[in-house]
Amino acid sequence: MPNHGDWQLGVYLDGLTGKVPEHPMAYAELERRAERSMPPELWSYVAGGAGDERTQNANVTAFDRWGLMPRVLAGAAERDLSTELFGHRLPTPLMLAPVGVIGLCDLAEGRGDLVTARVAAATGVPMIASTLSQDPMEEVARELGDTPGWFQLYPPNDRELTESLVRRAEAAGYSAIVVTLDTLTLGWRPRDLSIAGFPQLKGQCLANYFSDPVFRSRLAAPPEEDPEAATGHWAMIFGNQRLTWDDLAWLRSLTSLPLLLKGICSPEDARRAVDSGVDGVYCSNHGGRQANGGLPALDCLPEVVDAAGEVPVVFDSGVRSGPDVIKALALGARAVAIGRPAAYGLAVGGRAGLEHVVRCLLAELDLTLAIDGYASTAALTRGDLRPVR
Ligand SMILES: Cc1cc2nc3c(=O)[nH]c(=O)nc-3n(C[C@H](O)[C@H](O)[C@H](O)COP(=O)(O)O)c2cc1C
Ligand SMILES: CC(C)CC(=O)C(=O)O
């Protein structure tokens, strides 16, 4: 596993003379380039959010309301970016959030799930592999090398299939299961609904279902012979709106791997999750893709952290820069994940593009700590932030 020295300042500057592909990119430029590179239906699907996207935008601007207090002469010549999660010491607190259709964001070959895993292996930044993928989870896991991978589970409304997906994730070597609970049905996404982006895309990211023995046993003909019927069956089983807290004991009993619940924004839910025996709480509003009119995820983070107590909290939604990562950590997250920035990096430059996004983000994170006098990401606290007036 690469040590965190890889993205320390010196190497970053080396990067400017050739190691980092092209030049460091601010998020706005990355987004512009991604829009130019991606087919319109894929761009709409990835960039879009729920309703008029106010919550999605508020996720991003929420970070502007906090500022890191700069300190001087603080002994931050060497920085420790590492964090610990479920017995793994990770070189940095950054993670790659699960993104269904990340496969298609690899515009050259459509193998984005595998490419993302290779970038995870090269950078030591863990990947959370989505249930919705172009390539089966077993093949994705093989690309991860020594870097931990977590499997994100959309629990279908078929318990036997849910169990089968979890068993496969365990056998493939994933080291945690993340159950996403904010997408038990799809959100109101006008960009998708108007140009029918997602319906065209979804058939291409069902490899985990089509390769599953339980899923296959539900079909009259194998997916290779009748993909339309298989996709239709998937549409029937994907949504699981009847899932409640009563099902949590069953979900918990499915695995002895660390279990996280993703989509938690309310402190009551965080408390309930902890009481139900989960190992981690994943505070996220799905990047504003599911419900509009809600709170920015960052605003929910401190209360979720307080409610979770000793249980670690992972955060995503709106993270666009190194300083954003610092703010989420200071508000109590143990690790911080990116969704759209990773998808855009892949779209703009394939493997090199995604690696560039990851390395730029980590370099900016490290450089900001160096300048503002913080020697350790794990030691950041809320007291290091002030509200911006
Ligand atoms: C195109 C796209 C597909 C996504 N697919 C999944 C998914 O399959 N499972 C999941 O739990 N979250 C999914 N998410 C949500 C991300 O995991 C994450 O919560 C979100 O992207 C974070 O916000 P950000 O994009 O502002 O970084 C998806 C997000 C995007 C943009
Ligand atoms: C198929 C979808 C549910 C994938 C997803 O989580 C998303 O588009 O946000």
Rounded (10°) angle between helices 297-308 and 267-275 = 40
Spacing, Cα 263 to ligand 2 middle (Å): 13
317 pocket-lining for ligand 1 (C-beta < 6 Å):
yes
332 pocket-lining for ligand 1 (C-beta < 6 Å):
no
- Does the ipTM surpass 0.90? yes
Spacing, Cα 130 to ligand 1 middle (Å): 9
Give 331-369 pLDDT, tens digit per residue.
Answer: 999 999 999 999 999 999 999 999 999 999 999 999 999
Q: What is the residue with the minimal CA distance to atom 6 of ligand 2? A: 100
233 is a catalytic site residue:
no
Compute the average pLDDT of residues 147-163: 98
Give 258-269 pLDDT, tens digit per residue.
Answer: 999 999 999 999
Say whether pLDDT at 377 is over 80.
yes
Atom of ligand 2 nearest to the CA of 98: 6
CA distances in angstroms from 362 to 198, 275, 276, listed in the order given:
31, 34, 34
Atom of ligand 1 nearest to the CA of 320: 27
350 pocket-lining for ligand 1 (C-beta < 6 Å):
no
Cα-only R_g, the chain:
20
pTM for this structure? Answer: 0.95
Question: What's residue 194's pLDDT?
Answer: 63
Whole-number Å distance between alpha carbons of 124 and 92: 8
